[in-house]
Amino acid sequence: MKYLIKGGKPLCGSVEISGAKNAAVAIIPACLMVDGVCRIENVPMISDVTMLLRILREMGGIVRMVNKNTVDIDCRPITRPAAEFDMMRQIRASYYLIGAMLARFGSARVVMPGGCNFGGTRPIDQHVKGFSALGARVELGNDMVVAEARSGRLHGANIYLDVVSVGATVNVMLAASMAVGTTVIENAAKEPHIVDLANFLNSCGADIRGAGTNVIKVRGVKRLEGGSYAIIPDQIEAGTYMAAVAGCGGEVLIQNVIPRHLECISGKLREMGVEVENLGDAVRVTRDGPLGRANIKTLPYPGFPTDMQPQLSTVLAVANGTSVVSEGVWETRYKYVDELRRMGARIQVEGRIAIIEGVRRLSGATIRAYDLRAGAAMVIAGLIAEGTTTVEGVSYIERGYEDIVLKLRGLGADIISVTEDDPKESLRSAM
Ligand code: EPZ
């Protein structure tokens, strides 16, 4: 699949934000630990989520779609703490099954995680540190992670994470929630999806306090019971549409958001001369004047989200003046810059730093998505650019953005999704 975009138009109208991908990919594996049926609402229907639902089914779980965004999950029939399916190499969040399996079964056999490769390495040493502290023996090798609680069941521990890690915080919280005794996780990640997972687990009978701060206390419980839970709106999807309006100009009402989660993004856009109005469960984003430059440093929440860096760097490529972007979370995350250069962007990259000299316009080109958020940035570049842009590799984008073509067309964007081999002529006529 690829997207064909005719850019240079402002965006106008309203768009509904879906459930948060990074909350859903933690909450769905957590259902493995629950002794009952979990009804999860506001689930984004994106490929990372459908992949995890398939994995639970392959393991023997009962997964029933109630409607497009509501699913009933019953993992009681699952008896084997193992997930060795090739498809697991495609997503990162499959490793949350390790924490969930250790909690319920005291052991786990899971394929090493895959996920977006945007440059540097994505180690899991902090996950291993956490599981070991809880009393598990962990072996990595042959592309597998094998873990076993030495005494058959995990025990509470005090764990200080050497780096602020969303994944390690999630995995340790999962494993600790049914351990014997109390666990304290220090230097924990504070992202909204961490809080959402804690709220889900507590709704099932867990005893987790402090999520959203850097110290999380987990008192292990014997059993988690089923119930209903609605996932929070996606902070990064919302931020992506906010960035698109900043880049294209126009006025868009972005509905079903939690403005507090968007503070850092809103603040940065206001610095650039974009109007962002908080309206309770929506934000209105307006840009009808010149776009100013800004400096960005990505940091763990509540800092500027790294998952918004490619999207905002793309907007800065057409801002007035020179901006400096510093990637504070990942070793590097600038693979997408070469694609922007082909559209006329002037960006220099040195390690974690990108110097972006704003240009008057970008020109349409054929560009490729190399990972999920870089893919979203390519779509924004196409919407901003004069002329037609073809974005290839869009399967990455569809891992994290529900109905992105539909939602953008609803804002007046000229974008269509076509199969790779569609002749260009038929596409132009469709535009
Ligand atoms: C989660 O990845 C997100 N993915 C990422 O979003 C996001 O970029 C990242 O958190 C940071 O917010 C999901 O939630 C599924 P980390 P994760 O562990 O958990 C280092 C997207 O686009 N580290 O917080 O893998 C690591 O190298 C994706 O939705 C270790 O050193 O990220 C990085 O420098 C892309 N050892 C930093 O910590 C470890 O054991 C933060 O990583 C783990 C991490």
Q: Which of 18, 117, 165 to mutate to test ligand 1, by most ligand atoms within 8 A of the CB atom?
A: 165
Domain that holds residue 90: 21-230
CATH of the domain at 133: 3.65.10.10
Cβ atoms of 224 and 4 closer than 8 Å: no
Segment 3-57, tens digit of pLDDT: 999 999 999 999 999 999 999 999 999 999 999 999 999 999 999 999 999 999 9
103-112, 349-358, 416-425: range with lowest mean pLDDT = 416-425
Q: Are 217 and 366 in the same domain?
A: no
Kindly give the number of the ligand 1 atom that is closest to the alpha carbon of 48.
15
248 is catalytic: no
Sequence length of the chain is: 431
Q: Are 209 and 253 in the same domain?
A: no
Identify the domain boundary among 180, 215, 230: 230
Give me the number of domains the chain comprises. Answer: 2
Catalytic residue among 31, 116, 204, 264: 116
Question: Quick check: CB of 165 below 6 Å from ligand 1?
Answer: yes
52: amino acid identity, one letter: L
Segment 283-340, tens digit of pLDDT: 999 999 999 999 999 999 999 999 999 999 999 999 999 999 999 999 989 999 999 9
Q: Are 203 and 258 in the same domain?
A: no
Output the residue whose Cα is nearest ligand 1's atom 17.
167
Assign residue 92 a region (left: φ > 0; alpha: ψ between -120 and 50; beta: otherwise). Answer: alpha
Segment 42-62, tens digit of pLDDT: 999 999 999 999 999 999 999
Identify the domain boundary among 230, 245, 263: 230
Identify the domain boundary among 171, 204, 230: 230
Q: What is the pTM of this model?
A: 0.97
For residue 49, give Cα distances in angstroms to 19, 54, 393, 398: 11, 9, 19, 11
The SS3 call for residue 300 is coil
Q: What is the pLDDT of residue 425?
A: 47
Question: Quick check: CB of 125 below 6 Å from ligand 1?
Answer: yes
Q: Are 412 and 272 in the same domain?
A: yes
Question: Quick check: CB of 307 below 6 Å from ligand 1?
Answer: yes
Q: How many angstroms is it from 36 CA to the middle of ligand 1?
A: 30
